[in-house]
Structure 1
């Protein structure tokens, strides 16, 4: 290796280190700026909470603390939310009980505990004292939960119920318009994902009009981007570009660098799909640069992925490899952060469940002592002491057993989730490698025809070496690896649905891993339309036709149901 090449290699390494440090510094600066101002408010509210004797003031303060800490310290946010609900129940003021219940529902929604969040939203709906705005928030929240779980029909049902309430004169005008704008946008997203472009356009337009009425530019840019994406899907590229550029102009006016990088990424993808590669490359590079400055890893991941596809399309393999390396680095960082966040959420949920069980245990012990208070002194002391110690040991053993089982379950779920991620990533990586080898081999075959005959054997040798690295047995490897992780899955499928074909059983495995239609299409070399038809046929064979049961949810719970039984 020459001195020039060594210096060039070190220069690239140094540049990558500088980029990573820049991202880290951006995160630290953004965190410091936000936390400093919020910290003063939190300290002030905490001080007020310790000084006040009024329960109503305590409710107001704990609610404010819960909302303030919801983005920075979710554990504290949930603690304050539980405390405000407890205090509201003690003083029995319906309005504050509803406010505390809604806040608790939103907090559980934030940590991803959908069942608990749904229970509290349902509590509001069933409460006769709830006003229109409380009901509006509750129906909207339930709609969001169902959207996250891809149950679009149920989500639409609750969103429409919220819209019906927002049309009444009882709801406050400001709250009504703000929530109505959000509802219209959410409905537009759902209908777009369902490929009902006519309804999606109707709701996006309604949301856009409300944003302009409220002069709400923070939400306006999101709706403009959604509307632009919808027009692009419909082939109305001039309209799509108009909306994309309008959103970008607003973000530039507000000096929103994070939003600008998102717009650049969207425009880069837009021009890439139009095969205007030079403009697409410029936008995607700018998106990555701004994303690195603001610490927006999600935008960097999307833009680097699009840039990789662009260079691969152009046959520029060196920059394509660099874009792919950046994408993998950022994806790994995001995956690790997401895994840490899920672990923290599980720990948080376990902690609150433990406290709740302890509280119930203490309540049972208290009731037991009251029950036995009237018995003769000597006999009652003996019986009460005996029962007390037996009950306490039983509770302690129950808590220990519950903790042990929960920990085992969490470890198993995390292990399966990690293996599923590794399995999907590995297969996609091998598939991309095969495609790249095929592409390079085709290029070399073409070159071989136009060079001297003395050189042709060397080129053929390179092609042969490349072909030897192909992995045609990808699907077999996938099935084998999948069975290692989910041992009983295919046994359950064969037992319950023996009429499934091998390709349908394989499709079940892909869907259990929550793979998208595009990913399945890329692995099986089938068109996305063929995959959609196969999914419809599979629903019929699984007796899901005519039901609202989600196919992915059904398959993901299939082996879990067997284990519980």
Structure 2
């Protein structure tokens, strides 16, 4: 991890911004135990180790250390290492390493104040962490993205991100207690800014409780100041003053010069709010008389402006003029510092982007040239081979397709013919069965009249049994079986000759099976003469009148044409 974001206090960053509006001061917790020469020596040593590293894991670990050492002093170089770190992680294809690499890249962009890019990578870390949950990575991602929202004065989103970070600070370690206390303090401060004071105190009380457990005096002082502001907003001035004084004592004991400036400002602001300008002046003058380092410039700017207002009300115009001069000089220094930093960051980002774009363009040109040569050779070979094989196989394929279609047609015709015979046989068998039952039944009826009563009853029972075997639904059954064999026959007829009646369609089916007039008469119980008349009408509707075309042949060819079309389709 490059940076542990423990928010200690809220300080002003922009020109003429009151300290009552918190802009999160991102604490870059890189603890420098060695002097500058020792750091340079360590950098050189790490670069040598990076060249000698044999595995991706070793390279990854060393690159992370180089990013840590360069993030504050040379962010542009840190950005280069961060990009290399992402490439290493992608080579390794480890979700955990990819997330850590993206986190480092997001943090470097945060130092460069490229907030959109930084947020983009923090969100990427959060989304990818669902695959490989690492609490430390998620805490940093949520807290840092929350810091960015607070920089943009989007306090509600800042609270949301800080709250998510708390979900991953479950481990009961000293480090986690410190981090959790810092996050709780931040949430309490933001609730104070949106004037939800009861919620603010809940989080601040929890934060100070954790900080006392680990004796984190710096954070205790920060929280006491925040509690003092909440009490002051609620009109509980005695409690507010008590908290400010407690924070002051802690900072005196720890010799926290920046913290002392903040405590003096809070006390001065407190006495100014209750119109005790004499005591307020004493605290503000303690601030303006300190060394104008970058850490206290913003506090000096605000304190001198308060002094200006005090002196103006008291008619001390000379002192007021001096105070406004101090205020102006502090603001100018802050503005110049911010502008210089921004220009430097823009130059570094521009140079980095320029180098990256040049490398990408060169690589793209090289890749494009290689691809063009390879694609040209492959396409040429493929086209020649394709033309050769297409020409060679075209005739063979057509011949095979024709033989296949011919064979399939023959098989279908044989299959249909066989099924037609089976269907005809079944129908005729049913007809013969019905006729036989009728003949036997009639004979038994004649015999029955000459028998005694007991015998007549037995004969009647036999007649009833025989009649129960009759097939009254013969035509219906025939239609179902016929359609099963010739499923497109009726559709074809209806398409070509839509005027055919149901009885004519049924007659076509009988003729298709090559049944004789007598057989049709037996099935339909219609006289042969009527069937002959029906055949004549049918020929007329099929436009066969005056031609030598056989009706049965015509119907068979009609179905064969339909089968052929289906095969071609």
2:65 aligns with: 64
Distance in 1, Cα, partners of 2:274 & 2:303: 16
Larger Rg: 2
Q: Does 1:141 align with 2:139?
A: no
Deviations 1:49-104 (A, max 9, x none): 22442243332232223223323332233233223233233333433332222122
Distance in 2, Cα, partners of 1:262 & 1:114: 27
Distance in 2, Cα, partners of 1:96 & 1:116: 20
What is the CA distance between 1:189 and its match in structure 2? 1.9
Unaligned segments of structure 1, at least 5 residues: 1-32, 381-565
Aligned pair in 2 of structure 1 residues 175, 261: CA closer, same or farther (>3 Å)? Answer: closer
2:163 aligns with: 160
Unaligned segments of structure 2, at least 5 residues: 1-30, 381-569
Aligned pair in 2 of structure 1 residues 42, 220: CA closer, same or farther (>3 Å)? Answer: farther
What is the CA distance between 1:261 and its match in structure 2? 2.0
> What is the TM-score when the length of structure 1 is the normalising length?
0.57
> What is the TM-score when the length of structure 2 is the normalising length?
0.56
1:9 aligns with: none
Deviations 1:498-531 (A, max 9, x none): xxxxxxxxxxxxxxxxxxxxxxxxxxxxxxxxxx
2:374 aligns with: 374
Aligned pair in 2 of structure 1 residues 191, 284: CA closer, same or farther (>3 Å)? Answer: same
Tell me the secondary structure at the aligned position of residue 132 of structure 2: coil
1:46 aligns with: 44
Structure number having the greater helix percentage: 1
2:99/2:125 contact within 8 Å kept: yes
The counterpart of 2:35, out of the listed 31, 34, 37, is: 37
1:151 aligns with: 154
Q: Does 1:311 align with 2:311?
A: yes
2:339 aligns with: 339
2:270 aligns with: 270
Deviations 1:264-311 (A, max 9, x none): 122111111111122111111111122447873222212111111111
1:96-175 equivalent positions in 2, closer than 5 A: 96-127=97-128, 128-167=131-170, 171=171, 173-175=173-175
1:480 aligns with: none
Distance in 2, Cα, partners of 1:40 & 1:135: 32
Higher deviation after alignment, 116-125 or 144-153: 144-153
2:93 aligns with: 92
Higher deviation after alignment, 339-348 or 49-58: 49-58
What is the CA distance between 1:243 and its match in structure 2? 1.2
Higher deviation after alignment, 144-153 or 246-255: 144-153
1:59-458 equivalent positions in 2, closer than 5 A: 59-127=60-128, 128-167=131-170, 171=171, 173-292=173-292, 296-374=296-374
Aligned pair in 2 of structure 1 residues 376, 89: CA closer, same or farther (>3 Å)? Answer: closer
Aligned pair in 2 of structure 1 residues 173, 265: CA closer, same or farther (>3 Å)? Answer: same
What is the CA distance between 1:324 and its match in structure 2? 0.6
In the comparison of the two structures, how many residue pairs are matched?
Answer: 344
Aligned pair in 2 of structure 1 residues 195, 355: CA closer, same or farther (>3 Å)? Answer: same
Distance in 2, Cα, partners of 1:332 & 1:151: 27
What is the CA distance between 1:113 and its match in structure 2? 0.9
Structure with greater contact order relative to length (CA < 8 Å, sep ≥ 6) = 2
Distance in 1, Cα, partners of 2:339 & 2:294: 22
2:49/2:62 contact within 8 Å kept: no
Distance in 1, Cα, partners of 2:206 & 2:343: 40
Tell me the secondary structure at the aligned position of residue 239 of structure 1: helix
What is the CA distance between 1:110 and its match in structure 2? 2.0
1:258/1:290 contact within 8 Å kept: no
